[in-house]
Structure 1
């Protein structure tokens, strides 16, 4: 015995105003299986064309009919699929007649007071179209059998998605109506998945549509726009020594070695670096020999001048050469004494790598390293020109060091460079100097610490804070 399931529905058999009595609809198991299969095929359709082909052709396995067509969209709409054809030709006479038929049926469906929440099938014949579409009714017998059925599809919002028309010789039963009504919900849901998504402009219009909620949203936005916030800018920063002592090359030469390591504490008088003394030692030896020669010549001339007046005249010339060689000897000796540079005060040696300086030729006055006091530091930040928020001395700046993610240090700006200069990264930026608010080893970051600094500017409305960058770019692009 074949299992069956009972379902009672109120169906409208035709589009005529007369209503048929309610009847008991019996759907057996094979029909339920076919209904489930068609619903599965609709959910698995890859695109709208595949879904339309499935509706007008594969529904024949569930409900017998001779012809079917899918009408896409509301008025005017188009015939998108016809049973038995892989693709419909809009210029074909049959498709044009179907377009007029579906257009008349869609107008008739929309003529009611409201669109029903569930799509209901509507049976009709040629006689039902005599008044609204007589030209369609006159050509009915040339294209279709006696009985037709219109199945409108509506979306969740109640808007029309289109509809299907079926035709066959036998009248439509209540079972056909119940099965097609269920399929209409499945197909409508599937077509909404392929439908175009609302654009952002349509979504904004929906939000701004007059109403109580929209007024609240606009008032909230207006209040948010005038909330005062503080302009801030982020800039790379580094803890640098304040008033350091610059150790420079005392004379032209080649650095022989550095006696200290980076960040090494030194005391006053500690050797820092030494130049190669080979050239100066050769000059000193030559100057010593010239001095000894001039001294001996002067001694001999002085002895001969006692008895010879002519030698007395040469003695003055020998004296001048002796004084000149003495000056040259003293100068060379002084330079030789300066090949080793010592610290003039206590501090920490600040430089990068000793190997970068060893064997390097330097000119007199060239900077080699710094002597800094670790407890006497300042903050140096580089504000890009695009992020400048009118930074002025006295404003607050906060350092967030990379080495201590939970620590922050406040400082006050002392000076701002009036001219932007390229940073080591190649970015044009203003150099900002700031002094830390609290003194002491625990209240200041270590020397050489790097991180990000937040500079606090003036108070402005939130709308200005958000639109500052876009307005700047717009002015540069439009030339305001």
Structure 2
């Protein structure tokens, strides 16, 4: 026996050991569709079983955690397997299909033409599953023999994990009159269980009491000196407005002031000999005061062309590029400076799902970045009139305070939040929406 054959047998033994150690059907499916590459390389691996006596379903695909039922590839291979089952193919064999029939959807690349059909038999319980492998190269006779042997091993492992008669036993229990009476009584009794009415809405972490940076002058933004989430300190330059016109106005005012000052000096020198020059001195002194005010005002506008941070914090700016070159009027919002340690959560509750929300109501927040951990919060305030959201839906805005004081979540994180309302009976909780639809439809 060659070294390659010994290596192949060693890999088969290792694979069978993993099958025997599988603790669940899910674990076994993963081993079958992914660990088999070391024995017989493939591109795609499809593994399925019968969910009902005559209903076959693909339940695992190589390199994919969850099988998408609507996927074009899944639907295509499902049809191929159904056809092979109609042909009563019960032995491991290689088969090929034409390229035209292997295109999952228009515009997508076709699957490789080479397939191998691996039925998974159990000597005690018969056919347990089907494994289909797919690649560009044809399978050798040695690989076919290996896979035939592995198919029976998989079938045996499946038979040990699945009780084929479990559905028949459950059906017998369900048909019994006593079970049906207990089940019906339990359902009726459960309708009176008190539960909290709740609603789920989109949530976003927002700053609490941020410093709002508005346009101090009418003008066009030339440059934004910071990016979103930048940490800034007090008096850090944030925005530069276009200064050309402001600088020109300031220079002209200064020049005008110098001219008047020169005229005043000349008038003062000649005022000793001329009564008219004495009167002109008073007039020019008044003009100097007014022009100096103009210079100071133009200087103030020029200074305001550079926006400075009013305090330490984090920059929150939605779309930096959209603001560049855009004309602003005095008071228009540009950005906010927020304290990253002082945050709250905003929840948008759709009008169609709204419930009675009270101040102090409990909220569970689940962030998309950490969906397994809940953040507790409570309602602080809420809007009485709905507003149009970015998704073009009418929703109420609910502001909530986070109970988590240490390590607050980052500003801008999004997720979902569940708001708890008044206690109601389970019947009303389940049928609230149908009742609303009936009342609106029939006018009751």
TM-score normalised by the chain length of structure 2 = 0.58
1:448 pairs with one of 403, 412, 421: 412
The separation in 2 between residues aligned to 1:323 and 1:285, in whole angstroms, is 17
Matches of 2:319 and 2:384, distance apart in 1: 32
Give 1:311 shift.
Answer: 2.2
- Describe how 1:269-280 pairs up with structure 2 within 5 A: 269-280=235-246
> Cα distance, 1:217 vs. partner?
4.6
Deviation at 1:279, TM superposition (A): 0.5
Aligned partners of 1:381 and 1:433 also within 8 Å: yes
Do structure 1's residue 471 and structure 2's residue 435 form an aligned pair? yes
Q: 2:400 aligns with which of 429, 434, 453?
A: 434
Distance 2:184 2:319 in 1: 61
The Cα of 1:395 is off from its aligned counterpart by 0.6
Cα distance in structure 1, aligned partners of 2:318 and 2:384 = 29
Distance 1:342 1:314 in 2: 44
Q: CA deviation at 1:280?
A: 0.7
The Cα offsets for residues 56-99 of structure 1, whole Å up to 9 and x where unpaired, read as xxxxxxxxxxxxxxxxxxxxxxxxxxxxxxxxxxxxxxxxxxxx
Match of 1:109 in 2: none
What are the ranges of 5 or more consecutive residues in structure 1 without an aligned counterpart? 1-206
Moved more, 326-335 or 218-227: 218-227
Q: Does 1:299 align with 2:265?
A: yes
Q: Is the 8 A contact 1:247 1:370 kept in 2?
A: yes
2:249 is equivalent to residue 283 of structure 1: yes
Determine helix, strand or coil for the equivalent of 1:408.
Answer: strand
Q: d(CA) in 1 for partners of 2:306 and 2:280?
A: 42
Take 1:412 and 1:424, find their aligned partners in 2: how far apart are those partners?
A: 25
- Structure 2 Cα separation of the partners of residues 342 and 214 of structure 1: 74
Residue 405 of structure 1 and its aligned partner are, at CA, apart by: 2.1
Q: TM-score, normalised by structure 1?
A: 0.54
- For 1:213 and 1:361, how far apart are their aligned partners in 2? 74
2:353 is matched with 387
Q: Counterparts in 2 of 1:138-287, with a 5 A limit?
A: 215-287=181-253
Hey, what's the Cα distance between the residues in 1 that align with 2:222 and 2:369?
Answer: 35
1:330-409 equivalence runs, <5 A: 330-409=296-375
* C-alpha distance after superposition, 1:344-397 (max 9, x if no partner): 211011112322222221111211111111111001001111111101111111
Residue 311 of structure 1 pairs with residue 277 of structure 2: yes
Q: Deviations over 1:254-296 (max 9, x none)?
A: 1111111110101112111111111111101110111111111
Tell whether the 8 Å contact from 1:348 to 1:372 is kept in structure 2 after alignment. yes
Q: Secondary structure at the match of 1:291?
A: helix
- Alignment size in residue pairs: 271
Alpha-carbon contact 1:263-1:349 (below 8 Å) kept: yes
Q: What is the distance in 2 between the residues matched to 1:232 and 1:287? A: 65
How far apart, CA to CA, are the structure 2 residues paired with 1:231 and 1:464? 9
Stretches of structure 2 that go unaligned for 5 or more consecutive residues are: 1-173
* In 2, Cα distance between equivalents of 1:288 and 1:394: 60
Contact 1:396/1:456, CA 8 A, preserved across alignment? yes
Q: Distance in 2 between matches of 1:258 and 1:365?
A: 17
Give 1:35-46 correspondences, 5 Å limit.
none
Cα separation, 2, equivalents of 1:290 and 1:221: 91
Contact 1:229-1:459 within 8 A present in 2 as well: yes
Pick the structure with greater CA Rg. 1
CA distance in 1, matches of 2:426, 2:209: 40
**Structure 1 residue 325: Cα displacement:** 1.2
For 2:285 and 2:410, locate their aligned partners in 1 and report how far apart those are by CA, in whole Å: 61
Give, in whole Å, the separation in 1 of the partners of 2:411 and 2:247. Answer: 40
- Partner Cα separation in structure 2 for residue 380 and residue 221 of structure 1: 37
Asked if the contact 1:409–1:445 (Cα under 8 Å) also holds between the matched residues in 2, the reply is no
SS of 2:212's equivalent in the other structure is strand
Q: How far apart are the structure 2 equivalents of 1:334 and 1:437?
A: 44
Q: Is the 8 A contact 1:400 1:409 kept in 2?
A: yes
